[in-house]
Structure 1
Amino acid sequence: MPVVPTGSAGASSRKRSAEPGENPPGHEREAKKACWGILTSQGLQERERERGQIMCSALHMTVSKWLLFTAEGSWADRSPLHEAASQGRLLALRTLLSQGYPANIVTIDHVTPLHEACLSGHVACVRALINAGANVNATTIDGVTPLFNGCAAGSSVCVELLLQHGANPWTTHAHHPSALHEACKRGSRECVESLLSRGVDPDYEVPHLGSALYMSCLHNHSGCSQVLLHRGADVNRGRGEETPLHAAVASDNEEQISLLLDFGADVNLRDCNNLRPVEIAPPGGKAQQLLQAHNVSPRSLCELCRINIRNLIGRSRLKFLQQLPLPSLLTQYLEYT
């Protein structure tokens, strides 16, 4: 029986292990470990992704529920007293007050029944709430007062009633809503007169709205503009570089433009786009014709004197014009009456 040499078998084995394309011993185990590591990593990433999606969904549901609760709460916490004041049901309101409902009960937004009554212009309800001790200077979370709501409703009776009972006509914060601006926006001349008679500055500005005169010109309320100018409002003070005349010209409001020009509006002032009022006037409109006529005919000496005398007297002393030893005709001329 032939004997197979052991040396040739070892050589053959070594040859097979050394042939190209074949893995060395232990490589398969390492490859399996690497593959398992990749699968494990992918599995962890997938689980993390799923966990993140679940958390996002839960957060979204929580926020949605909170917003829904807030939206419902702002109405759900309105008391029967709020409803009665809003709808002007005086008998129901008096009954609720007699049953112990506090006159200063507030919603989640700090809205009081007095806010509601003023916003709807229900004078009898306003009077009943004030007599029951309602705070005339209560403010909502947005800084809105009953006085502001009265001006928004255009109710001069509500405004006067609030002022008589100690309502503060001045805005306590620069960014809070201004009752004077709201009255000018709504065109309530009587409300403007009531506020100015209590010492409100006719030149008071709100940063994003500008002056009260600018507001009345922007919304085409010549009556409010006339009251403000008679009280000494600066005819050229608007919003930023834009003057009340710019606002009136943009609306092509002939009455407003004539009023501003009579009180000395400067036709050469430029807005933020470096444009004069005549340059923004609608082509062929009344505003353009007025301004062009004004440019070719200078102011009369009487007009210049009136403007300068009023400026010298000063806004705070214009109310004393009647007391000056002047002929009534001259006094009326200085007062634009």
Structure 2
Amino acid sequence: NCVGCFWVERTPVHEAAQRGESLQLQQLIDSGACVNQVTVDSITPLHAASLQGQARCVQLLLAAGAQVDARNIDGSTPLCDACASGSIECVKLLLSYGAKVNPPLYTASPLHEACMSGSSECVRLLIDVGANLEAHDCHFGTPLHVACAREHLDCVKVLLNAGANVNAAKLHETALHHAAKVKNVDLIEMLIEFGGNIYARDNRGKKPSDYTWSSSAPAKCFEYYEKTPLTLSQLCRVSLRKATGVRGLEKIAKLNIPPRLIDYLSYN
């Protein structure tokens, strides 16, 4: 919020922030340069530093009064950009300065961006500080859809273990549809273990198995589950996990039951 901040292409502050030139950035700040200057795309130096994972520059900008939840033309905040870069250090810094973990966006949330970049550490941290597991993006669907489409299995497991809805739909398309399309058997099995519905139909009336080639490994996997009912223990596990709801792992760990059962319910 400085007087004389006009829309420009880029400023020396943007350049230094993006390149990680912290010494130069500090000199610019000391000489009175505006840290909230925006480009024609509403990109601030904090966006630029966050997107490149330049933690030292993020720290300097925040300390100099950079707006932590500034929006660029796409509606993304610096936290979204830090998650896109997969920089856990930048994510922690932004959160410590009060960045909103669930900014009111119509586009991808920080959690979506972390799932796109495949940073399970960022995903875990965002969930710990209250990220909405069912945040819906009009293009991508939920964070689980994104993680499956990108085949980031670590992120998928973190989301599912935290209580993400395995059967959430985007135009009736579920995570299992994505797993079938990317032909990933490990992903298909993980989703089914967490209660994925192999009979769910998308807006074209197709089941996940309809997106596999006959006699391919994914097709055989679906065929097996169609012919073999889930075990009683597996059905109980899915039901109990549903009952514990979002962030259910914390509740499961406190149950007065044998450690082996806790491990089973925790998918360890």
Q: Tell me the alpha carbon deviations over residues 277-299 of structure 1, each in whole angstroms, 9 at most, x when there is no partner.
A: 11221232211111111111111
Shift of residue 107, structure 1, vs aligned partner: 2.0
Given the alignment of the two structures, is residue 226 of structure 1 paired with residue 157 of structure 2, yes or no?
yes
One-letter code of the match for 1:284? S
Deviations 1:107-159 (A, max 9, x none): 23321111110111111111111111211111113211101111111112111
TM-score (norm: length of structure 1) = 0.75
SS at match of 1:171: coil
- Give the aligned partner of residue 190 of structure 1: 121
1:131 equivalent in structure 2: 63
Cα RMSD, aligned residues only: 1.5
Partner of 1:54: none
Q: What's the TM-score, normalizing by structure 2? A: 0.93
* Aligned residue runs from structure 1 range 121-270, under 5 A: 121-173=53-105, 175-270=106-201
Distance 1:316 1:90 in 2: 38
CA offset digits 1:196-217 (Å, max 9, x no partner): 1111121221122211111111
- Code of the aligned partner of 2:207: R
Counterpart of 1:275, as a letter, is K
Q: Is the 8 A contact 2:13 2:33 kept in 1?
A: yes
Describe the SS at the equivalent of 2:178: helix
Unmatched runs of 5 consecutive residues or more in structure 2: 1-5
Paired residues, number: 263
Q: Following TM superposition, by how much is the alpha carbon of 1:235 offset from its aligned partner in structure 2, in angstroms?
A: 0.6
**Which one scores higher on RCO, CA 8 angstroms, separation ≥ 6?**
2
Q: Which amino acid is 1:223 matched to?
A: D
Alpha-carbon distance between aligned partners in 1 of 2:96 and 2:124, rounded to the nearest angstrom: 14
- In 2: Cα distance, 1:139 partner to 1:294 partner: 45
Match of 1:325 in 2: 256
1:1-337 pair list within 5 angstroms? 77-173=9-105, 175-337=106-268
CA–CA distance in structure 2, aligned partners of residues 208 and 106 of structure 1: 26
CA contact (8 A) 2:212 2:218 kept: yes
Pick which of 102-111 and 245-254 moved more.
Answer: 102-111
Aligned-residue offset at 1:254: 1.1
Shift of 1:99: 0.6
- After the TM superposition, which segments of 4 or more aligned residues of structure 1 sit over 4 Å from their partners? none
Percent identity, aligned pairs only, is 38
8 Å Cα contact 2:244-2:251 kept in structure 1: no
Structure number having the greater helix percentage:
1
Q: Partners in 2 of 1:150 and 1:251 — Cα distance?
A: 27
